[in-house]
Structure 1
Amino acid sequence: MNTALTRLVGVRHPVVQTGMGWVAGPRLVSAVAAAGGLGILASATMSVDELRSAVREVRSRTSEPFGVNLRADAHDAASRVRVIIDEGVRVASFALAPSPELISTLKDAGVVVIPSVGAVRHAVKVAGWGADAVIVQGGEGGGHTGPVATTLLLPSVVDAVDIPVVAAGGFFDGRGLVAALAYGAAGVAMGTRFLLTAESTVPDAVKAAYLAQGLDGTVVTTRVDGVPHRVLRTDLVASLESAGRLRGLARALRNASRFRRLTGLTWPTMIREGLTMRRGRALTWSQVIMAANTPMLLRAGLVEGRTDTGVLAAGQVVGAIDDLPTCADLIEAIMKDATEIIAGLGSG
């Protein structure tokens, strides 16, 4: 299927696997890329050296294009960009808007820049700065999310910018791809659907917990890191919701210390990143401290398999998924169904 996305990044199918922290590692990314989609490696939970090693591992598994997701406000963003350029990665994606200078550096090196956005104004801003495309996530999506449904946000962004738009939030099959194309999108991006595949390294027990959910199995909470975050309804999330502010901040400080030891970050570096987050995202100091919850709570669930003490990010689409296909089978089924649906649209 030939779209503006496939032409831009050189993939066979207009399907993107999002850069999920602790989930989108070399095995999943390479499987998606080999199947003709755009796999995106999550780098925020890696050191720079680990990122370089992960990129090379993906490259050893497949010669197809893939991407790397990174935080634009990270203290070592420039070093991560250098890895992307040096290693010949095709796409750089961002969860927060990259600066015009960062976009320019990447584009001058031939890297395609695709930020993720949750509002029309953010799409307009990064398009004006030179972004090649945007991923727009509606409120149905997992992880950090906004209040506007994909069915309203997507056409609004398509109307506001003249670069390819990739739709995220609520997609899992060929019907969704056709709907996104009808709205004017150039493809779809999926997180939860790819988390629930054979190549995903998430523990089997955690995958089972996801598959057991209905359409009402997620909740948007601010108690994980101070900003709206869509996660599975679990006893831990319920306890976070009912905990007092001081208890929540104490938990966050403990997790900040654990994350610092895991990544090798120094306290001054973490404080500088906190200052950047506070300015760039208009957060209070309490929210900045609470943001330390996210990496460790997600790691507990998605890596260690501790559903009792971990947080499990998930889109509402989790309630529509009941299987664990390989990435190749998933993408093949999506494209087969989408092609058949399009062919039959005019047949009455």
Structure 2
Amino acid sequence: MTTELTRLVGVRHPLVQTGMGWVAGPRLVSATANAGALGILASATMTVDGLREAIREVKSRTDAPFGVNLRADAADAGDRVRLILDEGVRVASFALAPSPELIAALKEAGVVVIPTVGARRHAEKVAAWGADAVIVQGAEGGGHTGEVATTVLLPQVIDAVDVPVVAAGGFFDGRGLAAALAYGAAGVAMGTRFLLTSDSPVPEAVKARYLAASVRDVTVTRAVDGLPHRMLRSDLVAALERAGRASALVRAVRHAGAFRRLSGLTWHRMVQDGRALRHGRDLTWSQVLLAANTPMLLKASMVDGRTDTGVMAAGQVAGVIEDLPSCKELVERVMTEAVEIIEGLPGRESEARDRATGE
């Protein structure tokens, strides 16, 4: 299936595996790429040296195109951009809007720039700055999310910009891909669905929690970092929501120190990142400090397997996913379903007959 997305990035199928922190490492990204979709390596939880090693490991596992997700507001964003240029990475994705200068530098080097946005105005802004495409995430998506459903947000953005639009938030099968294409999207991006594959590095006990979840077990809370965050309900989430702001701030300071040691960042650089985060999202310093919770709470579950002390970011689709296919099996299934649905739409049968009879 050829779309604007497949032509732009050189993959076989219009599917994107999103850059999930602690999850989208070399193993998952290379499996996705080998399956013919676009895998995105998550770099925010890696040091620069760690990112270099991860990129080279992906390249050792696949010859297919892949991307790297970057934090545009990070103090070392320039170092990471130079790294992906040196390593010949095909795609740069961003969770926050990159500056016009950063977009221009990447495009000049031949890198495809695909920011993720959650509002029409943000899509219009990055498209005007030169972004090659946008991923549009509706409220159904996991992790930090907005309030507008994909079915409302997606057509708004498609009508507003002239670049390819990839739909995210609520997608997990071929029906969703067919629907997104009908809206005018160039493909779909999936996080939770790729997290729940046999190629995902997430511990099996954590995957089991996701598979056992119903749609009602997925919630949105501000208790983790002061921002709307979609995740699985758990005793920890309930405890965080009951906790007072003072205890939350103490915990955030402790987690900030742990993340500093893990990431290799200096306190000075972390303060710089905090200032950028505060400016980019109009946050208070209290909210910025609370944001230190997120990387370590996610690591506790996604790496250490501690569902009791970690949070589990999840799209609403976690409540309807029931198996753990390989990335290859998942991509083949999604594409087969989508093609069958599209070919079975009313009017397609007569088109096929006309082609067969030459009419």
The TM-score range, normalised by the shorter chain, is over 0.9
257-266 or 190-199, which deviates more: 257-266
> Counterpart of 1:274?
274
> Counterpart of 1:88?
88
> Counterpart of 1:73?
73
Q: What is the DSSP-based 3-state SS (H/G/I as helix, E as strand, rest coil) of the residue aligned with 1:64?
A: coil
RMSD: 0.7
After superposition, the C-alpha distances for 1:157-203 in whole angstroms (9 at most, x for unaligned) are 00000000000000000000000001110000000000000000000
Amino acid paired to 1:79: D
Q: What is the DSSP-based 3-state SS (H/G/I as helix, E as strand, rest coil) of the residue aligned with 2:216?
A: coil
Amino acid paired to 1:282: D
> Counterpart of 1:244?
244
Structure 2's unaligned 5+ residue stretches are 350-359
> Counterpart of 1:283?
283
> Counterpart of 2:212?
212
> Counterpart of 2:307?
307
Q: What is the DSSP-based 3-state SS (H/G/I as helix, E as strand, rest coil) of the residue aligned with 1:255?
A: helix
> Counterpart of 1:177?
177
> Counterpart of 1:59?
59
CA distance, structure 2, for counterparts of residue 273 and residue 41 of structure 1: 20
Q: What is the DSSP-based 3-state SS (H/G/I as helix, E as strand, rest coil) of the residue aligned with 2:22?
A: coil
Distance apart, 1:156 and its partner CA: 0.3
Amino acid paired to 1:73: D
CA distance, structure 2, for counterparts of residue 275 and residue 179 of structure 1: 40
Distance apart, 1:145 and its partner CA: 0.1
> Counterpart of 2:118?
118
Distance apart, 1:272 and its partner CA: 1.2
Distance apart, 1:76 and its partner CA: 0.5
Is 1:17 the counterpart of 2:17? The answer is yes
> Counterpart of 2:329?
329
Q: What is the DSSP-based 3-state SS (H/G/I as helix, E as strand, rest coil) of the residue aligned with 1:304?
A: coil
Amino acid paired to 2:244: G
> Counterpart of 2:152?
152
Distance apart, 1:346 and its partner CA: 1.9
> Counterpart of 1:318?
318
Give identity over the alignment, percent: 73
> Counterpart of 2:188?
188
Distance apart, 1:83 and its partner CA: 1.0
Structure 1's unaligned 5+ residue stretches are none
Distance apart, 1:280 and its partner CA: 1.4
Amino acid paired to 1:102: L
> If the length of structure 2 is used for normalisation, what is the TM-score?
0.96
CA distance, structure 2, for counterparts of residue 264 and residue 26 of structure 1: 20
Distance apart, 1:269 and its partner CA: 1.1
CA distance, structure 2, for counterparts of residue 280 and residue 335 of structure 1: 37
CA distance, structure 2, for counterparts of residue 325 and residue 175 of structure 1: 17
Distance apart, 1:314 and its partner CA: 0.2
CA distance, structure 2, for counterparts of residue 149 and residue 281 of structure 1: 20
> Counterpart of 2:354?
none
Between structure 1 and structure 2, the one with the greater Rg is 2
> If the length of structure 1 is used for normalisation, what is the TM-score?
0.99
CA distance, structure 2, for counterparts of residue 264 and residue 12 of structure 1: 37
Distance apart, 1:5 and its partner CA: 0.2
Distance apart, 1:215 and its partner CA: 0.9
Amino acid paired to 1:51: L
Amino acid paired to 1:206: V
151-160 or 265-274, which deviates more: 265-274
Amino acid paired to 1:246: A
Amino acid paired to 1:88: G
Distance apart, 1:281 and its partner CA: 1.1
> Counterpart of 1:297?
297
Q: How many residues align?
A: 348
Amino acid paired to 2:246: L
Q: What is the DSSP-based 3-state SS (H/G/I as helix, E as strand, rest coil) of the residue aligned with 1:216?
A: helix
**1:132-171 pair list within 5 angstroms:** 132-171=132-171
After superposition, the C-alpha distances for 1:281-308 in whole angstroms (9 at most, x for unaligned) are 1000110000000000000010000000
> Counterpart of 1:34?
34
> Counterpart of 2:356?
none
> Counterpart of 2:232?
232
CA distance, structure 1, for counterparts of residue 79 and residue 272 of structure 2: 16
Q: What is the DSSP-based 3-state SS (H/G/I as helix, E as strand, rest coil) of the residue aligned with 2:53?
A: helix
After superposition, the C-alpha distances for 1:221-261 in whole angstroms (9 at most, x for unaligned) are 11111110001000000001111110111111110011011
After superposition, the C-alpha distances for 1:294-348 in whole angstroms (9 at most, x for unaligned) are 0000000100000000010000000110000000000000000100111010258
